[in-house]
Amino acid sequence: MRKSVIMVWSKTDSGTHPNGSIKTYGLGDLLRGTIYLYQMSVLHGFNFIVDIRGHPVCQHLTVNDHAYMNYVDENRNTGAIKIINCHENNLFEYIYNASLKSADPLLICTNRFCNEQLSPDCKQFMKQLLIPNERYEAYLNEKNKLNALSSESPHSIVHFRLGDDEFFTTKPNDFSKMIHAMNMIKKYANQTDILMTDSFRFKEFLIANNFNIKMFNTRPLHLGALSTLFKDDMSESFKETLYEFFTLNTASKIKTCSVYGWVSGFVKYSSLIYDVPLVDLKIQQPRQQQQRQRQKNQIEMMRHLQSSNLKFSFIKK
């Protein structure tokens, strides 16, 4: 009998990395892990299934039924779901080979690194997982109308990931990051660009400084649902962040910059699955130019703090 492997999308709250980034899987992590297992299914020939029902995203996407739904439900909280983190090389092969002794499906949740050269079949498989349900489709259409987005008005994205500290009210504002991002926008953005960022405080910072760029009135949330911002209405913030992901998928281009050493998975896997050209702005700047820019940002930050008494408030509904 052909072995079945099920990618069980789950919230994996396991603290933070030493650099401060959240270990809980975000949407990019889950997409990457799903692509990895799809590629392993091609290599090993197992039957591959994805079950999204245990993750908040299932409220907004079409859920694909499968033959092992009861098995997943019975084992969801028993420790049967094997968590394989991105740097755990060869662990999947070890677990998979051991599982061949049993006829039961193998339950996995992983963010393992995948081959980023996606086959057409893999892209189509992923797109089938990311179909909005009827209610969320209506929500997308309503938001697109509100934001004047349509196929007749092409849009591009400039995206800044300022770090996972931005999701927590207990973390202080980092004006140097905000000023650097604002200067990058001045240099690289154009009239068709829509700003996306993981930092609501950065949006408020730009508004307070009368900075002219189009952005949505959305409240970013880590899609691992780990945040202390907007905790009174987290479900709405989740919907808004997922809306931004669907907006990425129809963009003509994505320009991105992250405080981390890697490109944000939120934009990377949108680019890979939907064939949207992606430009990493960080590698556009030579190292000497980056150092000069950091010095300039520090000077601007001191001037800004001396002349401004900005206070940030968060939108509450």
User: Alpha-carbon distance 60 to 39, whole Å?
Assistant: 26
> 25-76, pLDDT tens digit by residue?
888 999 999 999 999 999 999 999 999 998 888 999 999 999 999 999 999 9
User: Alpha-carbon distance 54 to 10, whole Å?
Assistant: 6
pLDDT bucket at 128, cuts 50 / 70 / 90: very high
Q: Is residue 313 part of a domain?
A: no
Cα-based angle 267, 26, 229 (whole degrees, multiple of 5): 100
> 87-126, pLDDT tens digit by residue?
899 999 999 999 999 999 999 999 999 999 999 999 999 9
Q: Tokens 């039924």 label which residue? A: 65
> 275-298, pLDDT tens digit by residue?
999 999 987 655 545 555 555 555
The number of domains in the chain is: 2
User: Alpha-carbon distance 237 to 230, whole Å?
Assistant: 7
266 within 8 A of 254, measured Cβ to Cβ: no
User: Any alpha helices (H) in 78-165, and if so which ranges?
Assistant: 91-99, 120-129, 134-146
110 and 190, same domain (yes or no): no
115 and 156, same domain (yes or no): no
105 and 138, same domain (yes or no): no
Res 310 pLDDT > 90:
no
In 3D space, the residue among 125, 135, 123 whose CA is nearest the CA of residue 58 turns out to be 135
Structure tokens at 72: 């997943």
Q: 294 — alpha (psi -120 to 50), left (phi > 0) or beta?
A: alpha
123 and 138, same domain (yes or no): no
192 within 8 A of 156, measured Cβ to Cβ: yes
213 and 300, same domain (yes or no): yes
pLDDT bucket at 23, cuts 50 / 70 / 90: low
121 and 141, same domain (yes or no): no
Burial group, residue 59, by CB count within 10 angstroms (0-12, 13-18, 19+): middle
141 and 44, same domain (yes or no): no
